[in-house]
Amino acid sequence: MNTDTKASTLDARKGSGEANLRLPTRYDQLEVEAALQKKWEELNTYRFDRDDRARPTYSIDTPPPYPSGEFHMGNALNWCYFDFVARYKRMRGFNVHFPQGWDCHGLPTEVRAERTYNIKKREVSVDKFREICVKLTTEYIEKMKMAMQSMGYSIDWSLEYRTMDPDYYKLTQLSFLELLKRGFLYRGEHPVNWCPRCETAIAEAEVEYIHSEGTLIDIRFSTDKGSLIVATSRPELIPACVALAVNPTDARYVNFVGSEAVVPVVNRRVPILTDELVDATFGSGVVMICTFGDKTDVLWQHKHSLPVVKILDSQGRLTEEAGKYAGLSTSKAREAIVRDLKEASQVGGSKPLSREIGTCWRCHTPVEILSAPQWFMRTKDMTDQIIEQTNKVTWVPDFSKNRMIDWAKSLDWDWVISRQRSFGTPIPVWHCRQCGAILPAEKEWLPVDPRSQSPQAASCASCGSHEFVGDADVMDTWMDSSITCAVHAGWPEKLTEFERLFPADLQPNGLDIIRTWDYYLMARHLAMFGKPPYKTVLVNGMVRGADGRMMHKSYGNYVEVTEAVKKYGADSVRQWAAAGGSTGYDIPYRWADVEYGRKFLTKLWNAARLILSSLQDYDPDLPAPELDLLDKWLLSKLNNLVRASTDAFENFQFSVATDSARNFTWHDLCDQYLEAAKYRLYSDNREGAESRRAAQYTLFRTLDTVLKLLAPICPHIADALYSELWRDHLKPRSIHANAWPQVNEQLIDDESEKQGSTLVRLLSEIRRMKSDKRLSMKAPIKKLKIKAGEEAVKILSRHIDAICQIAVVQNVEIMQIKPATGKPESEREPEFQLAAEF
């Protein structure tokens, strides 16, 4: 028999406080949640109090999402984690700083703007194009904000910011100028990763490696000492070949080293070198060095002082350097060159080759390596410092720290921060038309767009010229979003505020952006302030679809947050996020988990109605009454729960906190205690008055505490029930403005827990027996014989009255059975043997 039906039969019969109860029978979750969200907003429940100097602050540096217009389950999980912490810390007495921003700039918006308005970026002015992008971004932000609000996140919206707003990007520009002054930025011509489709430089963090099937082709090079075979998967780069190389220990080619080879197609003579990085077992053991086929080529070009042949243009087409192949795409050039070499009998065998290739994270086009003037931040030199500081920060879970360290170690190049795009923060610099010297903007000129604005009253420091060209590039969007910790803390104006809020107490983000967000924040803030920007990094895993694959629209396993909230309400989705998996690990999205969340809410609602209706005449200010065994049992378990839950929140173990609170509520409170306490709550005899008050006392404390423990996870139902619990006793403050429960050590009582558990187990056996016989729980038992072990007999003998009252038994006989020692657990007798006469 399920307890929900029991609760409603009880509701129907008890009558007493029902009339006064304002809670409807059915929990209309969506209505209650929407009403509370509105109330919180009106009351500024989550506002950071700047004037409050008494409470310690707790600042959360939340990642500003890219405004795509969609808020998916992965985002929901992210934000749930931030919100669990924010709500818990608020109840622990912290003045919580929980801002929300939007990382607006970037190529995806440019592409959408072109599509939506059917224009080409180059057809309209920079200002006009920017205006269109801003409009589109604003619309997307509104959509995402609505989804966030429907989840009940306790964001302080008065701290909202958008990186595309002049107020914000002025700070991005200011930090650029500061870093330039301190020597952390430089402009130089170095090979960089380049996306030929997006036509821009991209950072190493933006290159995604994928598996790709290619062909390894043997090409014959003639040399002074006879011909050599070179195996290559990219014959289109042959015109950029500047040397051949072999391993110095490779005996096959000793005679060739030091002589020259002729590059087919372009007939250029190039040296034959040795280098220990050449893998003698790959292909023929001879490699061609092309500038630039890959990162090793970049290394070799530098090490052996080889010339640079710029073979590709910004769109990935072959240049004049490729002679007759100029203007062809790489794939067309590959076909043409192989065909010509075949005709010249310079192609040997070929075989399939499976390899890793780098692609653009935005558009998945294979990246090329190009050399062009760019702006860089000197991050390579900071590697040791970054690792040292990373080790000082707390990472949750601990393994995520290694992601950061491995990434920092793996970087080969400085961070390229300029992008050849439109919708981004302009680089606040002009170039002298005469001598090329750089003129950085003055602080007072910011925000500034050198693409359309001239420098104010300035002449070139080197040559005195007054003619300048604005820098045409914009910054990597990570330049905008990697100063958030400082911006939130009030940099550069509010320096007293800065000391309070910097570094951020919490840096929460997904596993996937450790190498960008966490890394860039660390590098930027170390360079600017000499301090790491965060104290603790809280990492969440990714959300997988029900099929175990990453959630993706094209897989058909994608779920919109708004869809889930509409079906099951925010508190149910939030329970999935909390309990769906361990912190830091990937979690699957399962509708069943969300459904379970809603069942729990229904259970809690019904239990709370039952409790509240029995508390109508209860006065919490009266001194504590004498408690029965089960009262002590429940309160002891409750206080152990408070301890476990506090530990779990302190350690960001949201699944532990949620599961323990739900299990206690469902089983100990509803299934056991409420069932056993009913007869006390509704007794109308005078002798029962004290016992009734003890049950009321226990239920009042328990409901109050459980709601507080659930408040970070299920903020809506917790607040709704809490205001009802306290409405006749206190000004109805939101539960979220209340203190987290303390462990009451005096109520932790191992002996009562042990005795209470024995009694509770017996009572459920009796209930099961009645239920098996299809009898009502109130059906009287004329005679009950209980056989149990020695210890249980001792305990039960002390509580015969309670057994009779609770289970409606007229006569009880308790006997001892011999302990079944030596048998494996599975063969042991049940704890109790019951025989009943009805």
Binding site for Zn ion (CB under 5 A): 195, 197-198, 360, 362-363, 365, 432, 434-435, 437, 460, 462-463, 465
Min CB(361)–Zn ion separation in Å: 8
Per-residue DSSP letter, 825: G
Contacts of 419 (CB under 8 A, 6+ apart): 200, 201, 202, 473, 474, 475, 476
| Residue number, 181 or 433, with CB nearest to Zn ion | 433
Min CB(436)–Zn ion separation in Å: 7
Distances (CA, A) of 27 to 324, 509, 609, 717: 76, 34, 10, 9
Min CB(193)–Zn ion separation in Å: 10
| Residue number, 277 or 363, with CB nearest to Zn ion | 363
> Looking at this protein, which amino acid is placed at residue 575?
Q
Residue 93's CB is within 10 A of a number of other CB atoms, namely 12
| Residue number, 191 or 715, with CB nearest to Zn ion | 191
Helices vs strands, H then E, count in the chain: 25, 28
Min CB(107)–Zn ion separation in Å: 7
In terms of Cβ atoms closer than 10 Å to its own Cβ (0-12, 13-18, 19+), residue 14 is middle
SS3 state of residue 124: coil
218, 284 Cβ separation under 8 angstroms: yes
| Residue number, 197 or 535, with CB nearest to Zn ion | 197
Tokens of 216: 């390894």
What's the rounded Cα separation, in Å, for the pair 240 and 323?
A: 11
Min CB(258)–Zn ion separation in Å: 42
Residue labelled with tokens 């939340």? 62
| Residue number, 353 or 437, with CB nearest to Zn ion | 437
| Residue number, 61 or 473, with CB nearest to Zn ion | 473
| Residue number, 374 or 752, with CB nearest to Zn ion | 374
| Residue number, 190 or 362, with CB nearest to Zn ion | 362
| Residue number, 304 or 362, with CB nearest to Zn ion | 362
| Residue number, 328 or 437, with CB nearest to Zn ion | 437
The three-point CA angle 816-819-820 to 5° equals 135
What's the rounded Cα separation, in Å, for the pair 23 and 39?
A: 18
63, 509 Cβ separation under 8 angstroms: yes
| Residue number, 437 or 775, with CB nearest to Zn ion | 437
Alpha helices in 711-816 (DSSP H): 715-726, 750-772, 790-797, 800-807
Per-residue DSSP letter, 664: I
The three-point CA angle 772-777-778 to 5° equals 140
Helix, strand, coil percentages, rounded to 5, for the chain: 45, 20, 35
Whether the link from the prior residue into 292 is cis, omega within 30° of 0, is yes
Min CB(62)–Zn ion separation in Å: 27
Min CB(29)–Zn ion separation in Å: 43
Min CB(314)–Zn ion separation in Å: 12
Min CB(462)–Zn ion separation in Å: 4
Size of the chain, expressed as the number of residues it contains: 838
What's the rounded Cα separation, in Å, for the pair 587 and 138?
A: 31
In terms of Cβ atoms closer than 10 Å to its own Cβ (0-12, 13-18, 19+), residue 745 is exposed
| Residue number, 462 or 833, with CB nearest to Zn ion | 462
Min CB(112)–Zn ion separation in Å: 15
Min CB(144)–Zn ion separation in Å: 24
What's the rounded Cα separation, in Å, for the pair 740 and 708?
A: 6
| Residue number, 44 or 365, with CB nearest to Zn ion | 365
| Residue number, 446 or 458, with CB nearest to Zn ion | 458
Min CB(553)–Zn ion separation in Å: 19
Q: Where are any strands of DSSP class E within 124-206?
A: 161-162, 185-195, 200-202
Min CB(197)–Zn ion separation in Å: 5
Min CB(518)–Zn ion separation in Å: 23
User: Residue 400 region, left (φ>0) first, then alpha (ψ -120 to 50), else beta?
Assistant: alpha
Min CB(379)–Zn ion separation in Å: 22
| Residue number, 475 or 677, with CB nearest to Zn ion | 475
Kind and range of the H or E run holding 84:
helix 73-91
What's the rounded Cα separation, in Å, for the pair 173 and 215?
A: 46
503, 533 Cβ separation under 8 angstroms: yes
| Residue number, 195 or 559, with CB nearest to Zn ion | 195
Contacts of 794 (CB under 8 A, 6+ apart): none
The three-point CA angle 367-368-369 to 5° equals 130
| Residue number, 216 or 469, with CB nearest to Zn ion | 469
Tokens of 482: 């990697």
| Residue number, 106 or 510, with CB nearest to Zn ion | 106
Min CB(360)–Zn ion separation in Å: 3
Residue 19's CB is within 10 A of a number of other CB atoms, namely 8
Contacts 24+ apart (CB under 8 A), 744-748: 744/635, 744/639, 745/639, 747/632, 747/635, 747/636, 747/638, 747/639, 748/636, 748/639, 748/640
The whole-angstrom distance between residue 312's C-alpha and the CA centroid of its chain comes to: 39
The three-point CA angle 727-732-735 to 5° equals 110
Min CB(365)–Zn ion separation in Å: 5
Min CB(372)–Zn ion separation in Å: 16
818, 772 Cβ separation under 8 angstroms: no
